[in-house]
Amino acid sequence: MTDKPILVVKDLQKSYDNKKVVNGISFEVKKGEIFGILGPNGAGKTTTLEMIEALRPIDGGSATIDGIDVASNPYKIRSIIGVQPQSPAFQDKTKLSELINLFAAAYGEKVNVQEFLADVDLQEKAESYIETLSGGQKQRFSIAAALVHNPKVFFMDEPTTGLDPQARRNLWDLVRHVRDKGISVILTTHYMDEAEVLCDRVAVMESGNIVALDSPQKLIKDLLKRGFKKQQHVEQANLEDVFIDLTGKELRG
Amino acid sequence: MKRKLFTVLTFARINTRRYFRDRTAIFFTVAFPLIFLFVFGGLFGNSNNGVSFKVALLNQSSSQVSKDIAKELNDGKILKVNSDVTTIDEAKQRMNRGEIDATIILPQNFGETKKGTTYPSGQAEILYSQNNQQAAQTLQSVLQGEFKAINAKLVDNKEPFTVTSTQTNDQSLSSFDYTFTGLLGFSIMGLGIFGPINIFPELKKQGILRRFHTTPIRVWQYFSATMITQAVVGLFAIGVQFAVAMSVFHLKLVGNPIELAIYIVLGIMMILGIGLALGGWAKNERQAAPLSNIVVFPMMFLSGTFFPRFLMPEWLQNVSNFLPLTPVIDGIRLIATEGKHFVDILPQLGLVSLWGIVIYAIAFRVFRWE
């Protein structure tokens, strides 16, 4: 991880019907960082992402990725970012190999399909139709499809919602793998355990504002410093550990 | 630019392949129009092969002449003699039910040689219901024709004035030509309009289009790829219909097949623009359905898909002349069955191009990825 920011957001604003949904937020994401945006539903997470992804017009402020202004160069921005939507959907009756070719072509590129499928452990499914994949496999495939053009920033909107614990853990490994390639990852999530183990830094949003921004460990320490105490259980394991112990770490489907 | 075209061609290639895997899509684009073709072809297809009447023949005479005539009528192609009917009451019942058009009665004394003559004579009687006056008149002239030939053999008969009719060798249009090209118009409309207005809202609902929107692909690239896929699929579907029409319904393709194919592709692309505009604009099915009905139904009934436009009052023909589908159907008919060339159908070509420009200008403007 270097300190050079790849994404710079300054005073970003968005209103719907005179109601501020994103209220002038600013943050930076460093190169090779996993950055989490947390917050309850309606806090403005998805709107923020969509503005940075050049999918929604920016009302005020600015966002630049790798020095390129999002608002004035939407097509340039789209060619250097990868986007994993909340629920990955692909047109049916299409083979995985064809979908990889389709997405590569959308960026004007031709790629080695097997290489990308091997990266997400789906090489033997190359000639299968997308609708035959399980939920976890679809998530993994969706990541491969979003990375065909070797983007600089990778956006993931609630990537593990609806996945079983095995698939979640597998996906965390994948996200780290993507980060290790030097791609910055920006994700939103409702799972605090996920943010804690995965993200280098998190921004907590509430009603369109960023109310905290730091590493998960630092935020926890700060809270404890303020005198917060939680009823402590001394068990060194939780129910998820039991579940993983009983059912194994091996990926299903 | 080369990279941009690569995008278009890759999308077109993969989506065309995908279409041929989709049985439902194949049913609606190929099999469904064929069903219409067989239904309408069966209704209108035989109209130029001569008129045929369903009659009952009651031969009450036992003379040789009556037997000969009965046999001749039975064997002839003009009449379909229902041999189940043996009594007048039964014949009347069937005529009332519309099962037969008329009843021919050869009375008891038919064919007997009357005193003072040297040849047999008699008078056949045609029985018909009020609703079948026209059929009865035609039948009467048919029988007179038959009898005239017999009379000539029996008596030396001079006829100073006669009438003959000669068929010209010009290709005249059978109503099937109109029916068939109308049905082609219907299937082009199915491909170009019903397809996109069903598919696009679904693609939007699942977020599939939104996903493409996160890539640098442009609307024109996505449109062009869709147009190529539709042109391939459309040529295939229409080719099948031509093959069936020519082999089963004796349609004669007199025009230049290449000109025809080019014109069909033009028509498909222009009509597809309507589907892209409607489906591309609608956020969901509820928005798409009512608007598409407003556009589709007038064209379906006024552009000559199900019944020929020459049956309409003149003012309505004038209005329907300018609907987008009308020049498509007319142009295909003019090339395919009348052997016209592009230079002969400039009005149709012009109207198709003009509509194409207008429609795509709208489609680009209203398209939404989600």
- Complex confidence, ipTM: 0.88
Beta strand residue intervals within B142-197, DSSP E: none
- Nearest residue, CB atoms, B11 vs list A78, A93, A102: A102
Question: How close B280 comes to chain A (CA, Å)?
Answer: 16
Q: CA nearest A91 in B: which residue?
A: B208
Residue A19, pLDDT > 80, answer yes
> Are A105 and B214 a contacting pair at CB < 8 A?
no
> Are A108 and B6 a contacting pair at CB < 8 A?
yes
Q: Which of chain A's residues have a Cβ under 8 Å away from the Cβ of B214?
A: 53, 55, 78, 81-83, 85, 146
> Are A105 and B11 a contacting pair at CB < 8 A?
yes
A185: left (phi over 0), alpha (psi -120 to 50) or beta: beta
Q: Rounded CA gap, A78 and A142, in Å?
A: 16
Strand partners of residue A187:
A36, A156
Q: Is A75 on the interface with B (CB under 8 A)?
A: yes
Q: Which of A29-33, A88-92, B28-32, B302-306 has the lowest mean pLDDT?
A: B302-306
Tell me the helix, strand and coil percentages in chain A, rounded to 5.
35, 25, 35
Q: Is A94 on the interface with B (CB under 8 A)?
A: yes
Q: Which of chain A's residues have a Cβ under 8 Å away from the Cβ of B207?
A: 85-87, 89
Q: Which of chain B's residues have a Cβ under 8 Å away from the Cβ of A53?
A: 214
Question: How close B351 comes to chain A (CA, Å)?
Answer: 34
pLDDT at B47: 47
CB neighbour class for A127 (10 Å; exposed up to 12, middle 13-18, buried from 19): exposed
**Per-residue model confidence as pLDDT tens for chain B (370 residues):** 889 999 999 999 999 999 999 998 899 889 988 998 888 877 765 544 455 678 888 888 888 888 888 888 888 777 788 888 888 888 888 888 878 888 888 888 888 888 878 788 888 888 888 877 777 888 888 888 888 878 887 777 777 777 777 766 555 566 788 889 989 999 999 899 988 998 999 999 999 999 999 999 999 999 999 999 999 999 999 999 999 999 988 888 889 999 999 999 999 999 999 999 999 999 988 888 888 888 888 888 888 887 778 888 889 888 899 999 999 999 999 999 889 999 999 999 999 999 999 999 999 999 999 8
Q: CA nearest A129 in B: which residue?
A: B18
Q: How many residues does chain A have?
A: 253
Q: Which of chain A's residues have a Cβ under 8 Å away from the Cβ of B14?
A: 94, 98, 101-102
Written as six digits, the tokens of B181 are 């090209």
pLDDT at A5: 93
> Are B17 and A110 a contacting pair at CB < 8 A?
no
Q: Rounded CA gap, B188 and A196, in Å?
A: 57
Residues within 8 A of B (CB atoms), A 39-58 only: 53, 55
Question: How close B202 comes to chain A (CA, Å)?
Answer: 10
Question: How close B32 comes to chain A (CA, Å)?
Answer: 21
Angle in degrees, CA B229, B232, B235, rounded to 5: 145
Confidence of residue A249 (pLDDT cuts 50, 70, 90): confident
Q: Which of chain B's residues have a Cβ under 8 Å away from the Cβ of A94?
A: 14, 18
Written as six digits, the tokens of B83 are 């041999």
Q: What are phi and psi of A64, to 5 degrees?
A: -125, 135
Question: How close B170 comes to chain A (CA, Å)?
Answer: 50
- Rounded to two decimals, the pTM is 0.79
Question: How close B176 comes to chain A (CA, Å)?
Answer: 38
Strand partners of residue A13:
A23, A60
pLDDT at B172: 58
Strand partners of residue A209:
A206
Q: Rounded CA gap, B252 and B246, in Å?
A: 6
> Are B14 and A98 a contacting pair at CB < 8 A?
yes
Give the helix/strand (H/E) hosting B79: strand B79-82
Identify whether the C-beta of residue A172 lies closer than 8 Å to the C-beta of residue A20: no
Question: How close B226 comes to chain A (CA, Å)?
Answer: 13
Task: Look up tokens 């979003």; give the residue.
Answer: A146
Average pLDDT, integer, range A115-120: 92
Q: Is A108 on the interface with B (CB under 8 A)?
A: yes
Q: What is the largest CA-CA distance in chain B?
A: 104
Beta strand residue intervals within chain A, DSSP E: 5-16, 19-30, 34-38, 60-65, 68-69, 81-84, 153-157, 184-189, 201-206, 209-214
Residue A2, pLDDT > 70, answer no
Q: Which of A38-52, A97-111, B56-70, B153-167 has the lowest mean pLDDT?
A: B153-167
Q: CA nearest A97 in B: which residue?
A: B14
pLDDT at A92: 92
Written as six digits, the tokens of B276 are 């892209």
